[in-house]
């Protein structure tokens, strides 16, 4: 059995925990009531008013005038995430973080020590609550696909177990949008066929799916039957350092997409510098509105951890894709691979003065963010968001 552990309103919950005066109030992390930026997280009290991540601050304040805006403190959230992963490691070394606030866990090898998957899931949930005063929802199921749906089924503080014999009944009444890869356009295609539930999708002939969706047909056919053979891959040895962001609303503005590239490149560069490593293969991941996902990469001459070089290379990759197709985008990611320690850095023959200035800028920015939080310093180019 696989566990999916998903922290509930993670950033906002941490802020409420650390400031009890915020408990029970509509808290949003990120954004601004004056309209600049988008919110990164919303407490469940704020969600009752329709607030959600990636919503512009101006819209959030219109929907909920009493919303309390908190500046993000990403280093604090990352530190809490490390504490959560230490708890995971007490029960199983086989866990795969997806982001700061969620992970898949394979607990098959831990049964003799702690009991079955359900018992382990409840122990993890209660340990997080007792030691960190935070709430997690847990899904327990035969595979990743079902476990992730289960963890989202009864939030907050949910705990849903789906046994292998129950998979079909569990999926049958769920909306078709629960199937990974079913975006707005795909959903409309299914609706024209009278398919609104996963159970109805499962009854479609495979030939019909192939005619409509081509290579994606097998994907839909398998997930409609709850088939997912992916393994939990522990994040032990990093082959690349990356960050990505999924947007609740698809983006087609070049200016906004460019600003996200800068934001993601800053996060990646900061992690590389903190761990004193550099990389030479810069990659951009792009997921379109219909869930088509592509990546583009470029290998540079000398390894780098400079945010500007990562961003400028990633921007060129993004613009190449945008010149080929103008479809709106729901996810962007930036990563750097080909990693090596700083001692292996190739010295530049030209542009040493500019390289030194870039190092000083990055070093100063890192120091400010480490002391005052990630939101304390932003590039002007990210204000377009």
Catalytic residues: 102
DSSP 140-201: EESSHHHHHHHHTTT-SS-EEE--GGGHHHHHHTSBGGGSTT--HHHHHHHHHTT--BHHHH
Containing 17, the helix (H) or strand (E) segment is helix 10-18
User: Which two structure tokens, joined as six digits, stand for 124?
Assistant: 């993890």
> Which among 372, 304, 277 is positioned nearest to 364, based on CA atoms?
372
DSSP 339-367: -EEGGGPPPPSS-HHHHHHHHHHHHHHHH
SS3 content of the chain, % helix, strand, coil (to 5): 50, 25, 30
DSSP 36: -
Q: Is the separation of the CB atoms in 41 and 55 below 8 Å?
A: no
């Amino acid at each position: 059995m696989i566990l999916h552990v998903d922290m509930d309103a993670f950033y906002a919950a941490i802020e409420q925990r650390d400031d009890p005066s915020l408990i029970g109030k509509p808290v949003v992390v990120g954004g601004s009531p004056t309209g600049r930026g988008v919110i990164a997280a919303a407490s469940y009290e704020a969600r009752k008013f329709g607030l959600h991540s990636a919503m512009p601050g101006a819209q959030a304040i219109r929907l909920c005038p009493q919303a309390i805006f908190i500046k993000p403190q990403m280093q604090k959230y990352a530190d809490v995430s490390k504490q959560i992963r230490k708890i995971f490691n007490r029960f199983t070394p086989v866990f795969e973080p997806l982001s700061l606030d969620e992970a898949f866990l394979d607990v098959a090898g831990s049964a003799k020590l702690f009991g079955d998957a359900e018992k382990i899931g409840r122990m993890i949930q209660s340990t997080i609550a007792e030691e960190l005063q935070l709430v997690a929802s847990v899904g327990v199921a035969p595979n990743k696909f079902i476990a992730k749906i289960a963890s989202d089924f009864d939030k907050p503080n949910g705990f849903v177990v789906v046994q292998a014999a129950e998979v079909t009944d569990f999926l049958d009444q769920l909306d078709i949008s629960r199937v990974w890869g079913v975006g707005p356009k795909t959903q409309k295609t299914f609706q024209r066929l009278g398919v609104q539930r996963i159970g109805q999708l499962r009854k479609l002939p495979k030939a019909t799916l192939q005619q409509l969706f081509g290579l994606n047909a097998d994907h839909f056919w398998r997930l409609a039957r709850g088939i997912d053979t992916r393994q939990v891959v522990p994040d032990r040895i990093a082959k690349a350092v990356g960050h990505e962001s999924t947007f609740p609303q698809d983006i087609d503005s070049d200016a906004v997409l460019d600003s996200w590239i800068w934001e993601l490149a800053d996060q990646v560069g900061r992690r590389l510098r903190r761990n004193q490593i550099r990389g030479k293969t810069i990659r951009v991941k792009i997921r379109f509105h219909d869930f088509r996902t592509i990546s583009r990469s470029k290998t540079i001459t000398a390894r780098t951890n400079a945010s500007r070089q990562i961003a400028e290379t990633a921007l060129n990759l993004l613009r190449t894709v945008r010149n080929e197709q103008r479809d709106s985008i729901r996810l962007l990611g930036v990563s750097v691979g080909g990693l090596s320690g700083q001692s292996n850095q190739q010295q530049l023959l030209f542009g040493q003065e500019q390289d030194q200035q870039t190092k000083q800028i990055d070093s100063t920015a890192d120091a400010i963010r480490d002391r005052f939080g990630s939101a304390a310093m932003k590039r002007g180019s990210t204000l377009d968001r």
